[in-house]
Amino acid sequence: MRNNPYIAKRAINEASLRKANVPFLSRFDIELTERCNNNCIHCCINLSADNVNAREKELSTGRIKIILKEAASLGCLRVRFTGGEPLLREDFEELYIFARKLGLKVLIFSNATLLTPHLAELFSRILPLEKIEITLYGMKKSSYEAITRVNGSFAAAWRGISLLLDHKIPFVVKGALLPGNKDEIKEFEKWAGTIPWADKSPPYSMFFDLRCRRDKGKNRSIKNLRLSPEEGLKFLTRSKDKYVKEMKEFCSKFMRLSGDKLFTCGSGSDGGCVDAYGYFYPCMMLKHPDTGYDLKKGSLKDALTGFFPKLREIRSTNPEYLKRCAKCFLKGLCEQCPAKSWIEHGNLDTPVEYLCEIAHVQARFLALVKDDEMAWEVKDWGGRIKKFTRGCNHGTKS
Ligand code: SF4
Ligand code: SF4
């Protein structure tokens, strides 16, 4: 252990690592590329693997190393390598080893199709220390490739998954609920349950995001793939008791009013996402140009101590937002946030009707909102949450 090159020891009281009692940066994401070797019908980010323009603009190996180094110096413990498809980068191995030598745990989001015996051997020798997350789009070639639109991708993904299993590299899988694979859910979950490192049922994406760069070509088809709020509720409540139990716990922690403040989650406080071109954003889905900090002009620390705190203070001036979301106790349940507003409307504070409906069908199912009410009209919401969460350990914050 003493001479392990993949463990960095830092003194806990090292001033440069901390602000008050928390690290400046505890975890962060790097989108190594927006390119992908798949072309999934629902994808909110992918550019084609051979997009030269995108490739040329991507951060160089050296620049990524500088960012990783600074992250470690700010107390960061975990980096997520994501994309697009992160394994598409030719320098992936070099960056992975560099991050691990800094002592960072590396969480890899991948479609598994580009995993090679060489990479599997590398991951088994130098463990990422975080389970690799693989998205699997179908259990059959026909369903999988109807989604990825790449011949041979099904076999490639399973080859990659077999390599992980053979080398005993911890990984978990995620699904995407799409018309082409919705009849395979049972088969998928049964198989996912056999993965030695699976500790819960696989999560699914189903309320798909539109294109996060607002390149609108695919948006109409992405909208058509989304489950209706009622279909989504049916899926979420397929194990009703489990759903209600989870929601009680969730509601006891997260239901509250947030007023006109736009950033109510922790994004940008001790984490964020560096995009493929060197802009540091508070969160992965938020690509509004005013919310990205150009790392050519400053450091991660500058963003975390100057740029993000100002951003996090932004308040809404949109009358529609002030009338609804500012007074709505479902804000924790609903995914309405500046990122979703950006993706759907191009600004930071316009309510997204689709997300509003999803939150309301769930709240009605849980009897938190009556059929003829909208959540922002409910005055006694605190009492309703208290009644619903009775028996849970966490108190309601109002
Ligand atoms: S594999 Fe992931 S990143 Fe690539 S196209 Fe599909 S959803 Fe997008
Ligand atoms: S449920 Fe509707 S009103 Fe409430 S926060 Fe979400 S979008 Fe706004």
**pLDDT of res. 13:** 59
| Cβ neighbours, 10 Å, residue 258 | 16
Split at pLDDT 50, 70, 90, the class of 270 is confident
Determine whether the shortest distance from the Cβ of 138 to ligand 1 is under 6 A: no
Concatenating the DSSP letter of every residue in 366-394 gives TTSS-TT--GGG-S-HHHHHHHHTTT-SS
Give 282-298 pLDDT, tens digit per residue: 999 999 999 999 999 99
Q: What element of type H or E holds 205?
A: strand 204-205
- Give residue 113 CA to ligand 1 midpoint distance, Å: 11
Determine whether the shortest distance from the Cβ of 33 to ligand 1 is under 6 A: no
CA dist 201 → 46, 195, 198, 315 (Å): 27, 11, 7, 38
- Ligand 1: which of 31, 35, 38 to mutate, most ligand atoms within 8 Å of CB? 38
> For the residues 196-224, what does the mean pLDDT come to?
92
Helices and strands in the chain: count of H runs, count of E runs: 16, 13
> Which has more confidence, 376 or 24?
376
**pLDDT of res. 264:** 86
> For the residues 377-392, what does the mean pLDDT come to?
90
Give 343-368 pLDDT, tens digit per residue: 999 999 999 999 999 999 999 999 99
Beta strands in 83-185 (DSSP E): 105-110, 132-136, 171-176
- Give residue 356 CA to ligand 2 midpoint distance, Å: 5
| Ligand closest to the CA atom of residue 46 | 1
Distance of CA 374 to the CA centre of its chain: 28
Residue 243 burial (10 A CB sphere; 0-12, 13-18, 19+): middle
Global pTM reads 0.91
CA gap 120, 165 in Å, rounded:
10
Whose alpha carbon is nearest atom 3 of ligand 2?
Answer: 325
- Is residue 396's pLDDT more than 70? no
Whose alpha carbon is nearest atom 2 of ligand 2?
Answer: 356
Question: Lowest mean pLDDT: which of 261-270, 325-334, 349-358, 365-374?
Answer: 261-270
The DSSP letter of residue 15 is G
Determine whether the shortest distance from the Cβ of 40 to ligand 1 is under 6 A: yes
Multiple choice CATH, 15-238+268-279, 3.40.640.10, 2.60.120.10, 3.40.50.300, 3.20.20.70 = 3.20.20.70
**pLDDT of res. 187:** 95
Q: Domain-by-domain residue ranges, the chain?
A: 15-238+268-279, 239-262+314-398
Determine whether the shortest distance from the Cβ of 175 to ligand 1 is under 6 A: no
CA gap 305, 30 in Å, rounded:
19
The DSSP letter of residue 153 is H
**pLDDT of res. 397:** 47
Give 81-136 pLDDT, tens digit per residue: 999 999 999 999 999 999 999 999 999 999 999 999 999 999 999 999 999 999 99
